[in-house]
């Protein structure tokens, strides 16, 4: 019997590097190994040219100016630079930042750090569909509000926030708008200038590029945004982010952006079809629920709860065959239910029973069909073993039961 290949459906955690990206990077490890800040010889010039070209490729994908793209080590650093950098730069104007409870930890933990430094943070709740309430956002803005930070697309549910409308509210009140667009860039159109986003964080490894390299878009006009550097040194990246540039990584990032720009439409069409097929088949099972609005969602993501089944246990039934996650990669080491799903009003039981399926450029139809079969078998197996499922089948109203701790 041949060993089944592990089916990778965890592309929101990271994507495999596209072979074309790897090919573009290879020369910059040895033949063209220069430091982009070495201005006195050809090796340095080659590296600098390569970085400039990658910046151009990324700017084209976003439809922004090259100089508005600042390279970092990843989206977490970009988020830190945006939030801490704005908080320090605009301290005279105010100290109030608005975000949402369902943001990535890179935003929430940075906000926690800023609170200790004297920031006032408002954490907006989200509705059952995962979207913020625009009236709540507007009501939260005060004279000392300097920044609204809301993610473009959620890492766990794929829910896309109403970016245009949020931007209009920010503009009306003269407040800067930052978006953690890590899950959106390279997969759906993300044009910050057109939408009205002033700072935007993203990373290469979520869009078929290498790990360890990201960027922050910082608007240079209407408004001209400034952030204070969080890493000091030689004044690289227009003084906003010192440190020797990761030339091979940046070259790969540029290539990944170019491929995304050319192939995004066909990728989206193919993946949304596959995702819809996966979701339709799995939700034929009793007591399943898709989490997050289906009207405004990333094309490759489905977050599904299988009621009366424990998500981690369910994953154990097929984790030799399918790579998926319950919750986000950055917090899945804890057995707490997903704070994103709890924030959307799911009870602990449903939040605990959810699996995130995130498809990618290299996912095949055959793999999706195999995954459907394996998950279906896993859910049935877990439910066969579950006394709670048996009670549910017998018509017992589980909400009325008082569970004893003994």
Q: Is 270 exposed, middle or buried (0-12, 13-18, 19+ CB in 10 A)?
A: middle
Question: What pLDDT was estimated at residue 405?
Answer: 54
Q: What angle do CA 16, 156, 162 make, to 5 degrees?
A: 110
Which of 112-116, 258-262, 305-309 is predicted least confidently?
305-309
Beta-bridge partner residues of 200: 179, 217
Q: Contact 144/94 with Cβ under 8 angstroms?
A: yes
Strand 322-323 versus strand 7-8 pairing type: parallel
pLDDT digits (tens, 9 = 90+) for 225-249: 999 999 999 999 999 999 999 999 9
pLDDT band at 53 (very low <50, low <70, confident <90, very high): very high
- pLDDT above 70: percentage of residues in the chain: 95
Closest CA relative to residue 114, chosen from 140, 81, 76, 75: 81
Contact, 303 vs 153, CB < 8 A? no
Q: Are 352 and 311 in contact (CB under 8 A)?
A: yes
Most confident range, picked from 299-313, 333-347, 367-381: 367-381
Q: Does residue 331 register a pLDDT over 70?
A: no
Most confident of 4-13, 353-362, 391-400: 353-362
What is residue 3's predicted lDDT score, i.e. its pLDDT?
A: 54
**What is the set of domains in the chain, with CATH numbers?**
7-13+264-388 (3.90.1150.10), 19-259 (3.40.640.10)
Average pLDDT value for residue range 73-89: 98
Radius of gyration of the chain (CA): 22
Find how far residue 278's CA is from the centre of its chain: 21
Point out the catalytic residue in the list 17, 111, 170, 330.
Answer: 330
- Angle value at C-alpha 109, between 108 and 114, nearest 5 degrees: 95
Determine the average pLDDT of the residues in 359-363: 98
Worst-scoring range by mean pLDDT, 118-122, 196-200, 272-276, 390-394? 390-394
Q: Tell me whether residue 330 is one of the annotated catalytic residues.
A: yes
What is the pLDDT confidence band of residue 328, given thresholds at 50, 70 and 90? very low
Segment (H or E) for 317: helix 311-318
Altogether, the residues listed in the chain come to a count of: 406
Q: Which residue, chain included where needed, has tokens 């449903």?
A: 350
Per-residue pLDDT reduced to its tens digit, 134-179: 999 999 999 999 999 999 999 999 999 999 999 999 999 999 999 9
- Record the tokens describing residue 302, joined without a space: 């489905």
**Cβ–Cβ under 8 Å, residues 330 and 283:** no
> What is the average pLDDT score of the chain?
94
């Amino acid at each position: 019997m041949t060993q089944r290949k592990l089916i990778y459906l965890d592309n929101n955690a990271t994507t495999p590097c596209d072979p074309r990206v790897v090919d573009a990077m290879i020369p910059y490890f040895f033949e063209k190994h220069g430091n982009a800040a070495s201005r006195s010889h050809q090796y340095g010039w080659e590296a600098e040219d390569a970085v400039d070209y990658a910046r151009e490729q990324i700017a084209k994908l976003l439809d922004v100016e090259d100089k508005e793209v600042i390279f970092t080590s990843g989206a977490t650093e970009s988020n830190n630079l945006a939030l801490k950098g704005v908080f320090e730069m605009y301290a005279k104007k105010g100290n109030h930042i608005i975000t949402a409870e369902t943001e990535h930890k890179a935003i929430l933990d940075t906000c926690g750090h800023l609170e200790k430094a004297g920031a006032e943070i408002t954490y907006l709740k989200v509705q059952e569909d995962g979207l913020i309430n625009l009236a709540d956002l507007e009501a939260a803005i005060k004279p000392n509000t300097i920044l609204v930070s809301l993610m473009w697309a959620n890492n766990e549910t794929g829910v896309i926030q109403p970016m245009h409308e949020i931007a209009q509210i920010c503009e009306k009140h003269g407040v800067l708008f930052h978006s953690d667009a890590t899950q959106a860039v390279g997969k759906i159109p993300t044009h910050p200038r057109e939408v009205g986003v002033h700072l935007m964080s993203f990373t290469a490894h979520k869009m078929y590029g290498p790990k360890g390299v990201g960027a922050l878009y910082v608007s240079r006009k209407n408004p001209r945004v400034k952030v204070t550097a969080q890493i000091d040194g030689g004044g690289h990246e227009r003084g906003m982010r010192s440190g020797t540039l990761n030339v091979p990584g940046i070259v790969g990032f540029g290539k990944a952006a170019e491929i995304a720009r050319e192939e995004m439409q066909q990728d989206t069409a193919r993946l949304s079809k596959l995702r819809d097929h996966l979701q339709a088949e799995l939700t034929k099972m009793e007591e399943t629920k898709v989490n997050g609005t289906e009207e405004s969602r990333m094309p490759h993501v489905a977050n599904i709860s299988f009621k009366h089944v424990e998500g981690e246990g369910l994953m154990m039934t097929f984790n030799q065959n399918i790579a998926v996650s319950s919750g986000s990669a950055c917090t899945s080491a804890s057995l707490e239910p997903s704070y994103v799903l709890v924030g959307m009003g799911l009870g602990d039981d449903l939040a605990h029973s959810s699996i995130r399926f995130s498809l990618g450029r290299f996912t095949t139809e055959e793999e999706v069909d195999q995954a459907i079969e394996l998950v279906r078998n896993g859910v049935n197996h877990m439910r066969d073993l579950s006394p709670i499922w048996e009670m549910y089948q017998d018509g017992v109203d589980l909400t009325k039961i008082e569970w004893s701790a003994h």
